[in-house]
Amino acid sequence: MLTKKQYDLLMFIHERVGETGVPPSFDEMKDALELKSKSGIHRLITALEERGYIRRLPHRARALEVVRLPENIAPPHRVSNPHLSVVQAPPPPMHSYAPPPPPQPRYLNTELRGAALTEVPLIGRIAAGLPIEAIEDRNNMVGVPSLMITTGGEHFALQVRGDSMIDEGIFDGDIVVIRKQDRAENGEIVVALVEEQEATLKRYRRKGASIALEAANPAYETRVYGQDQVRVQGRLVGLMRAY
C-alpha cells in the first residue's frame, strides 16, 4: 500500500511524463503536492524507489523512470521516442489508490510445515505509510507458526514490498512477523515510522541523538534521522515465504 502522498507523487510523475516526455522538476513536484520544502519530495522519491515504482538514472538531470504502477492501474508501456528514457501508461481510472490485500502464504519453511499456527492480523504491506495503530484490520488474518510468537507479546504481519533488505534474506512478497513494541536494540530489524508518514523495514542503529535506518542492499543508502523523527513500531521475529 502506498501513502496518499506517495501515490499522488507517482501519478503526477507518470502523467507529466505522458504529457511532455520529461519528468517534472523537484520544484514542480513540491508545488503539485503542496509541500513546504523539497526535502519532503526527496523522501517520497526515495520511498517510491525502494518499493520498485520508480528508478533514478545516474548522471542525468531530472532523470526519473516510472517502472511500475500500483496493481489496480493499467501496466506501463514505453513511449515511441527512442531518445527518452521514460515510461508512460494510459490515464488511470478514478478509484482508490490502495492495492488489493496481499495473498495468504501457501507454504512455510520446511522445518515449520505442520507446526501449530496462531492467527495474527495481516495489516497490509510494509510500504504502508500510516501508523500501525491506524491501519490495523483484524478482519484480515494470517496463520503464523506458533514458534514465531513470543509469550506475552502482541504480534502482526506485513507483506514486504521492494528489495532494500535482500541481503538479510528478506525479499519482495515475503510476509514478515512483527512483535509490537516501541523500543529496539542496536542491530535489530524493525518496522519504523519516519516523520509519522512512512513505515519502513530496516536495521536500527542509534548513536546519541541520531537514529540510522540501514538497508541491506548496497543500492540503497543508510538514512539518518533525529530521534524525534523515528518511532519504532515493532521488531522482526519471523518470516514466511510462498513457493
- What residues are labeled active site? 164, 202
β-strand pairing of 175-180 with 223-226: unpaired
The helix-helix angle for 4-20 and 26-33 (nearest 10°) equals 130
| C-alpha cell, 225 | 534521522
Q: Which residue has the cell 526527496?
A: 42
Dihedrals φ, ψ of 204, to 5°?
A: -95, 130
Q: In what order do the strands lie in the sheet containing 198-207?
A: 141-145, 117-125, 155-159, 175-180, 230-240, 189-194, 198-207, 210-214, 223-226
